[in-house]
Structure 1
Amino acid sequence: MRPPVGVILAGGQATRMGGGDKGLLTLGDTTLLGHVMDRLRPQVADMALNANGDPGRFADLGLPVISDSIEGFAGPLAGVLAGLDWAAAQGAETIVTAAADTPFFPCDLVPRLQLAAEGMAHPLALAATPDPERGKARHPTFGLWPVALREDLRAALADGVRKVVMWTDRHDGRLAMFPHEAAFFNVNTPDDLARAEAMQ
C-alpha cells in the first residue's frame, strides 16, 4: 500500500473553548497544531490542513490550507471530503486524518490503520480504543480514507449524512484498535488544556 497523505482536521467551531482556533493554543513550547504536525509528518507522504475562513492565519505553518466545499458547518465528513479532493489532485490513493486538538495521538497511527484495512478493495478504517462501558470507542476524526470513495461521500453529504460512522458503516469500515483508553485525548475545554500541560 502506498503511503497516504495526511490531513489535519481543524474546521471545528471550538464552542467549549470560547470559539476560535483550538489548534493555535499554546501547549509547551509550541501549539496544539505543532504537536499534531510533529506526530503526523513522519507517518505520511505529504500533509495539508483542513480549516475554514481566512487561511492567512495559518501561513507560518507552511502547509496547504484546504476549506470545506460543503456550505455551512457540516462536521468532520466535510473535512474528509476536502482532504480527499486535495489528495486526488496530488495523485494519492488514500488519506489519513488527524484532529487538530489531539496532541498525543499514537506515533503508529498510520501503520495500524493500514493493517486494519488490509485486503479491502477500498481501504477504510477508523481508530478505536477500549471503553469500560461500551466495549470500544471509535474516534471518527482519526481514519484512513480511500480517494476512490470521494464521490460517494460527496453524494452522502448532499443527502444530509453528517455522522462519520453512519457513512463508514455503509462501506464496512474496519476498526484499528489501540490499547490505551487515553490514546486520543483531545482538548475541548480550558481544563483539558491544563491536563494536556501536565501530560507532556
Structure 2
Amino acid sequence: MSLQINAVILAGGMARRMGGNDKGLVDLNGQPMIKHAIDRIKPQVKEILINANRNHSSYAEFGYPVVSDEDSGYLGPLAGMITAMAQTNADYLLVVPCDCPLLPTDLVSRMLSQLESHDADLAVASDGKREQPVVMLLKPSLRDSMKAFLDGGERKIDFWYAKHNCVVTDFSDQPNAFVNVNTPEQKQQLSEAIAK
C-alpha cells in the first residue's frame, strides 16, 4: 500500500510587510507567487489544499479546494495547518508557505525518508542555517495537539513541534530553496535570481 501524501499551501496571512497585498497573488516573473509553489510541489503529492482567508475566488481559479481558518482572527500559520489537517485523510500532510517559489523538487522524498527512518511524527526543513517552521511533513493525527497549543494562546510553531518526535531535514545543498518574499525589495531580488 503506498502512502498518501497531501499538501496545504498557506496563503492565509495578512502580509503586512507587502503593504497588505495578498502575497500568494503577488506577481513574480509573470505569474502569481502561489503558482510557483504549486508547480514545485504538485508532482510530489496526491492532492493540494490552499489555505486562504481572503480572495477565495482568485485562489479557487488554480483548481484546488480553498479552505479558510476555522478560527477567525488571523491567528497565524498554525490555524491554517489545523484547518487543513481536519480536511485530509492522507497519511501525511506537507505544509508549505505560498511565498517560497524555489521549494525543493525532492522536498517530500527527503523529509519522508527521514521521518520513517527515525520513526518520527513530523519532519521540519532546514536550509542548513536555520529551521523553516512552516515547511514540514506531519501526521494529521497531530491536529488535536496543535489545536490545544493554539487554543492555549501559543503561536510559535517551533515551540509546538519541540514537544513531539521531530526530525530536521537538511537542505543545505539547496540554500535558496526556502527564500521567501515578505517585502517588495525581496520580491525584486528574487525576481532577478529566478530570471538568471
Q: TM-score range with shorter-chain normalisation?
A: over 0.9
Letter aligned with residue 31 of structure 2? T
**For 1:127-146, what aligned pairs fall within 5 Å after superposition?**
127-131=125-129, 137-146=130-139
Give me the whole-angstrom Cα distance separating, in 2, the residues matched to 1:196 and 1:182: 10
1:193 aligns with 2:194: no
Q: Following TM superposition, by how much is the alpha carbon of 1:13 offset from its aligned partner in structure 2, in angstroms?
A: 1.0
Q: Following TM superposition, by how much is the alpha carbon of 1:120 offset from its aligned partner in structure 2, in angstroms?
A: 5.4
SS of structure 2 residue aligned to 1:176: strand
User: CA RMSD of the aligned region, Å?
Assistant: 1.5
Give me the whole-angstrom Cα distance separating, in 2, the residues matched to 1:177 and 1:121: 17
Aligned length: 192
Partner deviation per Cα, 1:158-185 (whole Å, 9 max, x = no partner): 1112111111110121101002332200
The partner residue of 2:90 within 89, 92, 95 is: 92
Letter aligned with residue 28 of structure 2? L
Q: Which aligned segments of 4 or more residues in structure 1 are displaced greater than 6 angstroms?
A: none
Letter aligned with residue 115 of structure 1? S
Given that residues 11 and 79 in structure 1 are in contact (C-alpha distance below 8 angstroms), is that contact kept between their aligned partners in structure 2?
yes
Give me the whole-angstrom Cα distance separating, in 2, the residues matched to 1:187 and 1:79: 19
What is the TM-score when the length of structure 1 is the normalising length? 0.90
What is the aligned partner in structure 2 of residue 110 from structure 1? 108
* Identity rate, percent: 35
SS of structure 2 residue aligned to 1:117: helix
What is the TM-score when the length of structure 2 is the normalising length? 0.92
Give me the whole-angstrom Cα distance separating, in 2, the residues matched to 1:158 and 1:122: 24
Partner deviation per Cα, 1:176-197 (whole Å, 9 max, x = no partner): 1002332200011111111111
SS of structure 2 residue aligned to 1:186: coil
Given that residues 114 and 123 in structure 1 are in contact (C-alpha distance below 8 angstroms), is that contact kept between their aligned partners in structure 2?
no
Give me the whole-angstrom Cα distance separating, in 2, the residues matched to 1:120 and 1:149: 17
SS of structure 2 residue aligned to 1:130: coil
Letter aligned with residue 35 of structure 1? H
1:183 aligns with 2:177: yes
What is the aligned partner in structure 2 of residue 166 from structure 1? 159
